[in-house]
Structure formats: C-alpha cells, structure tokens
A and B are shown apart, each in its own frame.
Chain A
Amino acid sequence: MNKPIRNVAVACMLLFVALLINATYVQYWQADSLTSLTEHPDNKRVRDAEFSRERGAILVHGKAVAESNKSDDDYKFQRVYPQGPEYAHLTGYFSRDWGLGAVESTQNSILSGSDSSLFVNRVIDLVDNQAPKGGSVTLTVDPDAQKAAYDGLRALGNNVRGAVVAIEPRTGKILAMVSSPTYNPNRIASHDFTAAGKAKQRLENAKPSPLDNTAIEETLPPGSTFKLVTSAAALMSGKYTPDTKVPGTATLDLPQTTKDLVNENRGGCGGDEITLTQALAVSCNVSFGSVGLKLGDDALRDQAEKFGWGTRTFTDLDDSLTRQAISRFPEDPDAPQTALSAIGQFDVAATPLQMAMVAAGIANDGVVMKPYLVDEIKSPKLETIRRTDPDPMPDQPAMSSAASRDLREMMVNVVENGTGKTAQIPGVDVAGKTGTAQSAPDRPPYAWFVSFAPADTPAVAVAVLVQDAGVARDQISGSGLAAPIAKAVMEAVIGK
C-alpha cells in the first residue's frame, strides 16, 4: 500500500502548496486592491483607519478648501470645508459611511497618504513611529473667479439651476466651476454618522439633487451658443469669410417639411442678405440654419468633435455618483434636423464645460486644451510630487489660427454691437455669444452665455448656464441672466 500512500502524500502537499499560493495572492498581490477605498468603498477597516488619519488638504492659491482638524473623539481628525457650498462640487466630501465625492475621491490615495508615490514618506513615518499623513492637492481654481461665479448664481436665488465654468484658454486650467443648487459637505463629513447619513440621503433624493455637478453632468441643447461651432465650421470650410453674405430673412423654408425655421424675434435679421458677422451679432436663426444646410451634418459634427463633442477627457471629479457627461451631436439627421442642429436645437446637447471649451479653443488660436482641475500634488513635507502639464485635446487644432482670429472678431462684435452688450467691460475687448434655448414647450427656456477676454490676449474663457431661475418666461435670456455672471467672472480673472 506504500505507493498509493506516497501518492496521497504528494497530493496533500500540492493541496497545501495551493493554499500557500492562494494566501500569498490574497494578502500580497490582491491586498492593494482589497484595501483601496476607490475599488471597495465598503471596506470598513480601511475606512476607519483612513478616517482617523491626518488627511492632506485640498488647496486653492495656498488656502485650504478642505482640511483635517484635530477632533476630540475616537477618530482624532475632523474633515472641514471652510468654504462649504462654494467649493462643494470640487472638493466633494469625505465621510465614514457615505462614501467619498469629487476630488476627495479621485485623489484619495494621495490625500490619505496610501499612494505609492508617498511610499518613502510612509516608511519614514513607520521608522519615526508617527501616524502616516496624507499629501496635499492644489487645484487650478482662481478663488476670485470662483467667488464671482458662486455669488453670481447665488444672486439668482438658492435653488436656481445653473452652472459656471471658467477655463484658462492657454492651458485648460479650470479657473472656476460652480454648479447650483449646491450643498454643504461639512454635513456629510460630520462624525455624527446618523445625521451625516440623513443629510446625504436628503441630498440624493432631492430633485434636482444638489450632489449633481451640473457643470459636467448635465447635457442640454446649447441653443444659439452652438452657432459658434457652426461659424467655425463655416470659416474652416473655406467657403465663408466673416463678410460672406448669408440669408437674413424672417423665415427659412425647411426642405422636406411644411414647417419653416423662424427667428427668435419672429422678424427678419436686418436685411434679406446680411454678413456672417452680422448674423452672429443678432443670432440669426435663418442665417445659421441655411449655413448649416449648405455645410451638411458631417462638417458640423466634425467641427463639434474637434471641440470635444463625443469624448470624455475630464476625470478629475469622477466618483461613484459623478462622471463627465459626453456632449453629443445627432448621428444621422435629415435636412431639417441638420438646420435645427446648426442653431443648437434638436438633438445637439452639450455640458457647460463643453461650451467653455469651445470658447477656450477659439481664444487659444483654435487649439482646445484638455481641461484639468488638479494642478499639483505635494507630499506631507510639502515637496512637489507631480504637477499636471497642459495637454491639447486629441485631433487639434480645431480651427486654423486665421479662422479663429476671424471668429474672435465676430464674437467681439457680438458684445460690442449685438446681443451680448451686457457683458461689456470698460477698456477690455470681450468676445462672447448669447444663447436662449427652448428644450420643450412645457419647460421654461434656459439661458447660455459663452465668452472670453481680453479678446486679443485671452486670459479666461467662461460658459454660464442658467437653467431655471424662477423668473418670468420672457425675462429668460442669455444676455439678461447669464452674461452678467460671465462678466463678473472675467473681471475677477483679469483684475478689472
């Protein structure tokens, strides 16, 4: 019987070897993934440990918008957000039981100190027998611009739905990003876990949910602001210059239907034939509908995609509830749908971030830069670990330098002589475009405004969306509601 016994012995040895290898897999190879809160937010052990660790700060111009202060309870540190609602959609929240949001989530490994780039610091802490500390994250935000954007939306009421995004055209740095309604992250980060849970639940159930970051999550028809994309496509086609004559009549006969395309004011645009510059200045639907028909949907879609439609590149705020929504242009529109798309209606949809990228692209000689929010990562000892380098979007330039210069002049004209006068800043050339979009007859229209300034050396590009201001229907317009906010943000950046 000895031969089978020997075989059994070998088989048993193999079983034990399998156990050893598997234990090594779980505790060594898989351990990082098992203890990552991003992958397993329900891991109580890691959560408790991270919750009682001195977490790194989130900084804006050297000032903390999220920091860990000593607390007297079991968890040793309390996360606080000094500016609360103003930065809520950027900082996010850090809670024990209710997950992590925004930058708290995407930069968790740095903030908590578990990132591999902080390994040396961890070892030093271990040797010194010190509790590990997290690194800090600096945002690209300009606090003045952020404040201007936040105050601008707040002035329209606490429950106004809207968003402001400001970008530095040359780099893609996000200078301001505010969404409304907003919330107070301090409530979710509270050590009173029941209260924190109730607060989170209430925010999740509210409609619209203040947790939603409208600036990147909401896609809406961009309305007349999309005429910038149509203009860009027109100028890039070589068939148009700013002085090319386009139809300026009261109606445009849409092919294949009995319907006509009409202008916002139901009248003409100042002549049967007007220049493209003038068409943009008065936001003439008929002109751009006919330009769109001439260019065709493929040219429009190509131009839109060069500005960022159809791609998702901004991930600095991803958490379990938030992702950047992809802006879209209809797949296969027929002729009347193409005409409607050319003026930003029908199935065209864009996020406020996307519209800010259009303005930034035009401002930056036709090159759209990838927007980013996390500027710099520092170790607990304040050494810079990494810094984000500006990077153009794929498939650039979106416009030739000459075409972008033409379009810039056309946009300056909009603010000087056209629908965008409310955005004028004395002594500075401002380029802009208004938009008032009708989504559905039963919903109030919403106001857009995209702009940049100064026109010749752009320092900031802004997109403002005011979705539901609770004002009378006929008072909702891009120039009335959105442009003043954009103006305030631009002034904050250029210091006027």
Chain B
Amino acid sequence: MSTGQAGPPAPQGLMGFVHRRRRGAELVLLILSLVVGIGAYAAVGLGVDGTLPVNLFTYGAWLAGLVIACHVVIRIFAAYADPILLPIVSALNGIGLAMIHRIDLARQASRPSSNGFADAQLVWMTLGAILFVAVLIIVRDHRRLQSFTYTFGLAAIVLLLLPLLPGIGRTINGSRIWINLGPMSFQPGEVAKVLLVIAFAGYLVLHRDALALAGRRFLFVDLPRGRDLGPILAMWLVSLGILVFQRDLGSSLLFFGLFLVMLYVATERPGWLVVGGVMFAAGAYAGFVALGHVHARVEAWLHPFSPDVNSFQLVQGLYGMGWGGLVGRGLGQGQPQVTPLAWSDFILPSLGEELGLTGVMAIILLYGILVERGLRTALICRDNFGKLMATGLATVLALQVFVVIGGVTRLIPLTGLTTPFLSQGGSSLVANWVIIALLIRISDHARRPPPELVEPDEDYDADATQVVKIR
C-alpha cells in the first residue's frame, strides 16, 4: 500500500484496510509455545525423578526445529496466514507430548516392560509437520481442491468402510475403526473427516441455491422441501451405519454434526438445523434403545457412582480432576496412570489432575481461540468454497473438542474420540496438522490483499482482458 500518495482512500481491501503479515508476532508466540512445551517436559522430569530429563536438549531442539521449520514455510508460502494458529497447535502438541511422556514414566515405573508412547508420538508429530509443509507447498490455492469434490467424497467413504473389511480391519476397545498397517494401526476415519469437509464444501457450494429453496413454514422457520432431503438423509444413514457397524459413537456424532453445520451455513436456512436436529434426536433415541453400547454409555453418564454401572474409567478421570483441584498436584506429582487410557482419550483429566483447573481452562481457551480463528478465516474469506471449507474445518475441531472433553468431564455421555493435538494417536495427530495447514492456506488467501486492478489506458477497451497484478 502506497501511503505517500494523496487522494481517495486506497481501493484495496473491501473493509478499507489490508491485513498485515504479522509473521514476527507468530514467531514470538511460537517461542512462547515452545517455552510451555519444553518447560512442561522439563517439569515432568523434575516432578518424577527430581532431575532434568537427560535428553532435554535434543528433545527441545527437535520440537523447536519442527515448529520453526513450519514457521519458515509459512513465511515463504503463506505469508499472510493467520499468525495465531501455528503457535496454539505447537503449545497443545508440546503439552500433550509432555503428559504422554509423564504417563509413560509412571507406567514403566510399575511395569518396566511396558512400551512408551511418547517417542512414537514425536515421530507422528514430525510426520504431521511434514504433511503440514507438504500441504502448504502443494496446495497453493485452496480453490483447486474444489475440483476433487467427488474424488475426495468417494475416498472418504472407502476409508470409512476399510475397517469393516475382514483381514485389515481391527477392533480396539470395542470400536471397529482401525486398520492394520504393518506393525501399526491406523484410524482412517481421522483422514476421512478432512476429506469429507472438502467434499461437503465442494458439493454444497454448487447445490446451495437449490437446497436453500423454502418449503413449508413451521413456527417461524422455513423448512426445506421434501425432495431436497436426499443428501441429509444419506449422511444420516452413514452416521447411523458408523454407530451400528463400527460402534463408534463419537465419529458418528462428529460427521453428522459437521454436515449439518455446513449445510446450514451454505443455505443460510435454520430450517435445516430443525430437520437435522429431529433426525439426530431420532437416531440418538433409537441408538439408546436398541444398541447396548450406547445405552451403557448413557447409564455411566447418568449414574457414574452406582456400583452396578461400568463407569470405572469415567469415575477415575473425575477423581483425578477433583484431586487436581484449582492448581493441580504439579506435573509428575499426581497419579494420572490410575485412569485407563490416561494418555489418549483421557489425557484431559490427566492434565486436570496435574495442572489443575487453571491448566484445563487454559487448554480449553486455546481450543476456543483456535476454533474462533478458523471461523474468523471463514468470515473474511472471499470465495464461498473457502468459506465453507474453513467453517467445516473449524467445526470439526470444535465438535471433536466438545464431544471428547465434555465426555470425560461428564457434561455429556462419554464417546470415544481423541483430543486434538493432545492425545496419543498418530492418525488423529496427522489429520489435525493437515486441518491446520488447510486453515492456514485459506487464511493466507483471505488476508492477502486483493489483486490490484491496473489503471486502464486512454484507449481502454471494455472488452479487453483485464490486466491483473498479483502481489
């Protein structure tokens, strides 16, 4: 922007200003986030063994190297991107790694033969960062993704079906949502959720006008037309299928909620929320009545302390959080390992025990800021596809965080989902890094000053191709 010129306000920027790059702010925040992450790792060593961990330097250097590399790539390939997203992810990931490491130590103290999860998690984080960089380099304009609408949609469905195939599908902890990949297992649903956001966005941006046509009016709300119910019905059935055949309450809820929110945003019709809400209620009630595993979850939620309800994990998590109180026992000073899956689904109660309500609030606020920055990106994005995609990506994060944290703190019935960036689990971590990469790509596009029209010459011909200068 040339500030020296007099005359009318600069035409660039619809709202009269141009976003600054703010890369320096990002770097400062990143360093803060590294202080938190590496500091937590050091505190775990001090709390458990009384000394700093021997590998503190290499660990810290590795973590710092990863996020600084991501920062450099953003500087080069997405210079206008939202500066807050990466630091939040870095902080959450660092806290998660420290806590997983801390629970590894506790488990190995009682059973020296048990394997640690923290090293694998660091490898997965590295893979996530690599994918993050790859997405930013390969996807230079998110609108190109729109041409893969149906490819991604199909791929997502295949991925969702994979765990059901005999041979490669695996059932872990009652849910059939895993596939064997050599020595590791992988949750294809985590990748599917990213693909689904893109597919939904591509589909809805094309069909939003038809889907927005009003049907019958009921209690101040225009309901959609009956003939347009096809897509939502299909999504409803897919979600029910996941619930029944894969016994995965969390993903089922996540996918349907995601579709509903995107449909609402695309059509601007609250009527869809009514229709979707009714369908959700019907599905949830049917599941509660017909499916034993759903019924058990609701029972454990309502009567966790009743002796004949299977709620050991939930209750241990609550005990841990109660034991943590306002300021926590301190890293390494509690007993988070008492809770089953304290390092994955129940990592938040583990953090609540050792960092207290203070830590839990900080973490929830980090998620809140992450989601709202995603939605902010959607607001300022100039194309509809980008708007929908950003909304979808932010919604996936919001729903997942709400469902899992709400579940482990007994706000809602417990459903198995990972806590983004915190929980141990490779597929989830990698998928969430890709989500952030896409959000950064869209926000870069949205915050980048719009192309400047070159002033036409005297013999300006209206039909001539406009010359556009790209910054």
Query: Which of A4-12, A62-70, A185-193, A479-487 lies at the binding interface?
Result: A4-12
- A residues 9-26 in Cβ contact with B at 8 Å: 9, 12-13, 15-16, 18-20, 22-24, 26
Q: In the bound complex, do residue B395 and residue A8 qualify as a contact, i.e. CB atoms below 8 Å apart? A: yes
Is B414 positioned at the interface, with any CB of A under 8 Å from its CB? no
A201 within 8 A of B: no
In angstroms, Cα B378 to Cα A379, docked, is: 61
Within the complex, the shortest CB–CB distance from A450 to chain B, in Å, comes to 41
| A46, CB-defined interface residue at 8 Å | yes
- Partner of A8 from B319, B323, B391 at Cβ < 8 Å: B391
- Knowing A1-B384, A26-B409 touch, does A12 contact B371 (C-beta < 8 A)? yes
| B388 CB contacts on chain A under 8 angstroms | 1
| Closest B residue by C-beta to A15 | B402
Asked whether A387 is an interface residue with its Cβ less than 8 Å from the other chain, the reply is no
- Cβ of B434 within 8 Å of any chain A Cβ, yes or no, is no
Indicate if the CB atoms of A9 and B411 lie closer than 8 Å. no
B357 within 8 A of A: yes
A12 in contact with B324 given A5-B387, A34-B318 (CB within 8 Å): no
Q: Is the CB of A27 within 8 A of B357?
A: yes
Residues of A close to B318: CB separation below 8 A = 26, 30, 34
The CA of A30 and the CA of B324, in the complex, are separated in Å by 12
Alpha-carbon gap, A16 to B364, bound state (A): 7
- Size of the chain A interface, CB-CB below 8 angstroms: 34
* In the assembled complex, B375 has its CB within 8 A of some CB on chain A: yes
Most buried by B among A42, A44, A45: A45
User: Which B residues lie within 8 Å of A6 (CB)?
Assistant: 379
Question: Which of A2, A3, A31, A40 is close to B325, meaning CB atoms less than 8 Å apart?
Answer: A31
Chain A residue contacts of B379, Cβ below 8 A: 2, 5-6, 9
Cross-chain contact B325 with A4 (CB below 8 angstroms)? no
Given A12-B375, A13-B368, A31-B325, do A23 and B357 touch, yes or no (CB 8 Å)? Answer: yes
- Chain B residue numbers with a CB within 8 Å of A5 are 265, 375, 378-379, 387, 391
Smallest CB gap from B371: residue in A: A12
- Tell me if B322 and A19 are in contact (CB < 8 A): no
- Which B residues touch A3, using CB under 8 A? 268
Contact A22 B387 (CB under 8 A): no
How distant is the Cα of A13 from the Cα of B375 in the complex, in angstroms? 11
The number of A-B residue pairs with CB atoms under 8 Å apart is 130
Tell me if A43 counts as interface (CB < 8 A to partner B). yes
B410 within 8 A of A: yes
The answer to whether A16 touches B352, judged by C-beta atoms less than 8 angstroms apart, is no
Interface check A35, CB cutoff 8 A: yes
Q: Quick one: which of B319, B371, B395 has the most chain A CB within 10 A? A: B319
**A35 to B353, alpha carbons, bound, how many Å?**
12
Tell me which residues from 417 to 461 in chain A have a Cβ below 8 Å from any Cβ of chain B. Answer: none
Contact A19 B398 (CB under 8 A): no
- The answer to whether A19 touches B325 (Cβ under 8 A) is no
Question: Mask for B392-417, Cβ within 8 A of A = 1, else 0?
Answer: 00110010011001100111000000
Chain A residues with CB under 8 A of B438: none
Interface of chain A, main secondary structure: helix
CB of B305 within 8 A of CB of A19, answer no
A34 near B387 (CB under 8 angstroms)? no
Q: Which residues does chain B contribute within 8 Å of A33, judged by CB atoms?
A: 322
With A5-B265, A5-B379, A20-B364 as contacts: A35 and B319 at CB distance below 8 Å = yes
Quick one: closest A residue to B329, CB to CB? A45
Give the CA-CA distance A4 to B321 in the complex, in Å.
36
Residues of B within 8 A of A44 (CB): 316, 319, 335, 338
Q: In angstroms, how far is the closest chain A Cβ from the Cβ of B189?
A: 21
Q: Which residue of A lies closest to B356 (CB)?
A: A27
Q: Are A24 and B357 in contact (CB under 8 A)?
A: yes
The answer to whether B411 touches A18, judged by C-beta atoms less than 8 angstroms apart, is yes
Q: Is the Cβ of A23 less than 8 Å from the Cβ of B360?
A: yes
Known: A12-B394, A27-B324, A34-B318. A4 touches B268 (CB 8 A): yes
Whether the pair B398, A26 counts as a contact (CB closer than 8 A) is no
**A253 is an interface residue with CB less than 8 A from chain B:** no
Q: Tell me the complex Cα distance, A24–B409, Å.
A: 10
- Is B326 positioned at the interface, with any CB of A under 8 Å from its CB? yes
Q: B264 near A: Cβ within 8 Å?
A: yes
Q: Identify the closest chain B residue to A14 (Cβ).
A: B402
Q: Given A26-B322, A26-B409, list of 13 further CB < 8 A pairs? A: A1-B378, A1-B391, A9-B376, A9-B379, A12-B394, A16-B371, A16-B402, A23-B352, A28-B326, A31-B321, A33-B322, A40-B305, A44-B338
The contact sample of 13 A-B pairs, CB cut-off 8 A, is A4-B268, A8-B395, A9-B375, A16-B365, A23-B352, A23-B357, A27-B357, A32-B322, A35-B319, A40-B305, A45-B319, A45-B338, A46-B319
Residues of B within 8 A of A (CB): 261, 264-266, 268, 305, 315-316, 318-326, 334-335, 338, 352-353, 356-357, 360-361, 364-365, 367-368, 371-372, 375-376, 378-379, 384, 387-388, 391, 394-395, 398, 401-402, 405-406, 409-411
Top 4 closest pairs, chain A to chain B, by CB: A34-B322, A27-B357, A16-B368, A31-B322
